[in-house]
Each structure stands twice: as structure tokens, then as C-alpha cells.
């Protein structure tokens, strides 16, 4: 069944790209996307995981209540629905329906699950390699992985959000990220298992496999990592991204984290801006705001032309080569033109400078008077 064939805790790394499921994205994208999972979503996931955790607990007590499987089925269904709509899990091919999940826990398959559990209690880990228990093994692995989902995402956000903010303010180069890392994780003991706040990549396995990667039509040698927890997978991807100059940045418009892949100070993400009736992206709105701020700056060309013209009018007035009525009208016209140039980009790039010349402004003012 497809739900059992998902590599939920596996990433393929190749140069500056990472593959998760069927999506190939810049390295660091997986860990960055996980930062955007909200506290409300984590609370919801934690509640959904409880029936699965109860099954794991019963296994630890060497007992199993068959009545728990319908609850586990409903829990898995709701978790999968959540994952289908949440990055980075939506990168996986989790297309499934209620019938498929129901088949995982039909009478025949429950018998296989129970048989596997009994065999595991009798012969240990060897039971997992017995082909006749393949369904039971698959379902129990799925339950174990899903049962930790809420807790591990919470650990990841608690330990990595502050570091992401440190990266946000750092020099956006691999050297800058390394400096931010060294400053944030000052004690090397944090990389050891002795510190519970730092979940080291324990039991993570790595292998090299041949796979067709982006920009190549022939198989490439890639580094495939298998993790035991989501927090380990997210952190590993985030750090791999830092090594190649990729880092998260928080968009000031929507508040979400997005990945930058070069040293440019990209400030806004490319997602849709919340509440914008025109359906514009944060980057589009940010560019407009940036332009307005630049145009309001005293040294902006639009403002510079206006300031220079106002000074010239004042000088002519003091030299008695311009009467007060004409000077007043010229200043009014100049201010109106400056405001128009700020609002209309085409005018600012076109006739604005020409109309603000002293002779042109004087001629227009006298015509108005």
C-alpha cells in the first residue's frame, strides 16, 4: 500500500539540492518550511498522535488491546489529511483515501499485526525481517513515526527558531552563517547527547545511491540519509543548507520563514500577501513599499530635483529677480509635480525633470497667474 511505502524520514542530498518524496528543492528548504508550522497546528497534531502513542505504550508493556486499532485508524487518517496540506510533508506523495487506511486495519491485517507483535516479543528484532510479517512491520513503523510527529516538531521549533532569528540578522554568506552558528551554539557539549535540549542525529544512517537528479538526465551519486526523528531530519537539512549558503529569513509582511539562496538581502517572500485584495505577493507589495520609502528619502532623485528648484526660487526671490506672487506659484507647482512623480512612476521617469527646470516652471507659473 502506498502509505506504507513512503520514506517519511529520508532525504537525498546532491550538491545544493535536496529531494524529499517527489519534490526537489534547494537544500535547507525542508527545515525552513518546518519553522512555519504554527503552535496551533502542533497542538492539534499532538492530540491526534495520542491514540498512536497509547499503542506504543501498550507494546512497551507487552500487551495489546485490539479495540485501540479503530482509534489508531482514525488518528492516522486525520494526520495524513493534515500532512497533505502542510509543507514540507506535502512534498510527499501522500494521496490516499479512507478505504486504503481502512484496509491497513481490516480483520486480516490486524491478525498479521498481532502475529508480528507476538513474534517480536518472542524472537526480538529478527521478526521484522520475516516476510510473512511484512504488513505488520509496515503498519507498526508507520504508527511509530506518526506518533512522534507533534512532539518532535515542537522540539525543533523550540530549539531552532531562536537560531533562525540569529541567522536572519547575520551576514548572509556561508562564513556569516558559520559565525552565527558558533555564537549561538557556544558550548560544544551541546552537540553531545548529554544535553537534552539538543537532539543529536543519533542512529541516523547514511548511504550513497544512484538517482536521477535535477539538471541531469543520467543518474548521479547522491547522499541518502535515513533519520529516526523528524526534528533530526529538519535540523540536518537546515544545516546542510547553511553549508552551501542557504538560510531562512522571515518575511516582514506575512511573518513566514522563506529560504534565501544567495548573499543578496532578499527581504520579502514570494507567497501571496495576506489580506491583499489584488492577490499580490509579499515581494510585489514589499517592492512598492521600498520604492515609496526610497522616494520619501531626502536624497532621492525626485526629492533632490524638488529641493534644488525650491532653493533656486528662493535665491531669485532674494535677488529681487522674481516677485513674491510668481515665486509662490512656482513653489506650489513644484510641490504638486513632486507629489505626482512619487505616485506615478512613468511621470517620474518621463516629463518630471523637464517640467521642473527653472525656465519651464517660471513660464507655467506666469501662465497660471
Q: Tell me which residue of 314, 286, 13, 29 sits closest to 334, measured CA to CA.
A: 314
C-alpha neighbours within 13 Å on the C-beta side of residue 259: 24
Say whether pLDDT at 93 is over 90: no
Give the E-state strand segments of 124-276 in sequence order: 205-212, 219-226, 247-250, 257-260
Q: Which of 4-13, 118-127, 230-239 has the highest mean pLDDT?
A: 230-239
Would you state the pLDDT for residue 6? 72
The percentage of the chain sitting over the pLDDT mark of 70, rounded to a whole number, equals 87
The per-residue pLDDT for range 318-363, each reduced to its tens digit, is 888 889 899 999 999 999 998 888 778 788 888 898 999 989 999 9
2 — pLDDT class (breaks 50, 70, 90): low
Cα–Cα distances in angstroms (integers) from residue 139 to residues 58, 62, 97, 253, 321, in the given order: 15, 17, 16, 42, 93
62: left (phi over 0), alpha (psi -120 to 50) or beta: left
Q: Which three cell numbers, joined as nine digits, stand for 211? A: 538517482
pLDDT score of 122 more than 70: yes
Which of 260, 263, 265 has its CA nearest to residue 286? 265
Examine the pLDDT at 61 and tell me if it is beyond 80: no
Give the pLDDT band of residue 193 (cuts 50, 70, 90): very low
Cell of 266: 532578499
pTM: 0.70
113/137 Cα distance (integer angstroms): 7
Strands (E), the chain: 10-14, 17-20, 23-26, 205-212, 219-226, 247-250, 257-260
Report the C-alpha gap between 93 and 91 in whole angstroms. 7
Q: Rounded to 5 degrees, what are φ and ψ at 212? A: -80, 120
User: What is the CB neighbour count within 10 angstroms for residue 187?
Assistant: 9
Q: Which helix (H) or strand (E) holds 232?
A: helix 230-243
Q: Tell me, what's the pLDDT at 32?
A: 95
336-342: long-range contacts, CB 8 A cutoff, minimum separation 24 = 337/306, 338/302, 338/303, 338/305, 338/306, 341/295, 341/302, 342/292, 342/295, 342/296, 342/302
- pLDDT beyond 90 at 18: yes
Helix %, strand %, coil % of the chain (to 5) = 60, 10, 30
Amino acid at each position: 500500500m502506498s502509505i506504507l511505502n513512503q520514506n517519511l524520514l529520508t532525504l537525498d542530498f546532491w550538491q545544493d539540492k535536496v529531494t524529499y518524496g517527489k519534490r526537489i528543492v534547494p537544500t535547507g528548504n525542508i527545515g525552513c518550511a518546518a519553522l512555519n508550522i504554527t503552535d496551533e497546528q502542533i497542538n492539534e497534531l499532538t492530540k491526534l498522535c495520542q491514540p498512536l502513542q497509547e499503542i506504543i505504550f501498550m507494546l512497551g508493556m507487552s500487551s495489546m488491546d485490539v479495540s485501540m486499532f479503530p482509534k489508531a485508524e482514525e488518528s492516522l487518517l486525520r494526520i495524513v489529511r493534515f500532512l497533505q496540506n502542510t509543507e514540507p510533508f506535502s512534498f510527499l506523495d501522500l494521496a490516499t483515501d479512507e478505504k486504503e487506511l481502512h484496509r491497513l486495519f481490516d480483520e486480516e491485517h490486524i491478525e498479521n499485526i498481532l502475529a508480528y507483535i507476538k513474534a517480536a516479543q518472542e524472537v526480538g528484532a529478527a521478526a521484522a525481517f520475516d516476510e510473512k510479517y511484512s504488513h505488520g512491520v509496515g503498519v507498526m513503523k508507520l504508527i511509530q513515526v506518526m506518533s512522534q510527529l507533534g512532539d518532535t516538531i515542537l522540539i525543533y521549533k523550540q530549539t531552532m527558531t531562536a537560531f533562525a532569528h540569529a541567522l536572519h540578522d547575520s551576514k548572509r554568506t556561508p562564513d556569516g552563517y558559520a559565525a552565527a552558528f558558533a555564537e549561538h551554539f557556544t558550548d560544544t557539549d551541546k552537540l553531545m547527547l548529554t544535553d537534552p535540549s539538543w537532539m543529536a542525529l543519533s542512529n541516523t544512517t547514511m548511504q550513497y545511491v544512484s538517482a536521477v537528479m535535477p539538471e541531469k538526465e543520467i543518474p548521479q551519486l547522491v547522499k541518502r540519509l535515513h533519520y529516526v526523528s523528524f526534528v533530526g531530519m529538519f535540523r540536518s537539512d537546515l544545516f546542510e543548507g547553511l553549508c552551501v549558503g542557504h538560510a531562512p529569513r522571515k518575511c516582514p509582511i506575512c511573518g513566514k520563514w522563506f529560504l534565501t539562496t544567495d548573499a543578496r538581502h532578499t527581504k520579502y517572500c514570494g507567497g501571496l500577501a495576506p489580506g491583499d485584495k489584488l492577490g499580490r505577493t509579499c515581494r510585489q507589495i514589499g517592492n512598492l513599499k521600498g520604492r515609496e520609502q526610497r522616494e520619501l528619502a531626502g536624497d532621492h532623485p525626485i526629492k533632490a530635483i524638488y529641493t534644488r528648484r525650491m532653493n533656486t526660487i528662493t535665491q531669485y526671490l532674494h535677488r529681487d529677480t522674481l516677485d513674491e506672487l510668481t515665486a509662490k506659484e512656482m513653489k506650489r507647482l513644484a510641490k504638486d509635480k513632486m507629489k505626482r512623480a512619487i505616485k506615478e512612476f512613468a511621470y517620474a521617469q518621463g516629463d518630471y525633470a523637464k517640467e521642473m527646470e527653472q525656465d519651464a516652471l517660471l513660464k507655467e507659473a506666469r501662465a497660471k497667474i
